Amino acid sequence: MNADDDVRRYPGFGLFSAIFFAYLYLPIAVVVFYSFNANRIVSNWGGFSLHWYATALSNANLMTA
């Protein structure tokens, strides 16, 4: 490994990487969080529910796809 390619040589690389991965994964985490919403309208939190997962798993067309 060449010493010129060491990550520690670039200041702010760790912070940039953290912001980059937050930019990638935060929207996915928000979608997963809201997928457990009991309310049909996303902007109103209706409590924790697995209703939408049960609906998706009981859909025969989806299961045979």
Spell out the SS3 assignment of the chain.
CCHHHCHHHCCCHHHHHHHHHHHHHHHHHHHHHHCCECCCCCCCCCCECCHHHHHHHCCHHHHHC
* Full residue range of the structural domain in which residue 1 is found: 1-34
> 29 and 45: one domain?
no
Whether the CB-CB separation of 45 and 37 falls below 8 Å is answered with yes
> 51 and 27: one domain?
no
Number of domains forming the structure of the chain: 2
Residue 2's DSSP bridge partners are: none
The predicted model gives 9-37 an average pLDDT of 93
* pLDDT at 5 exceeding the cut of 90: no
pTM > 0.85: no
Q: What is the pLDDT of residue 50?
A: 95
> 1 and 28: one domain?
yes
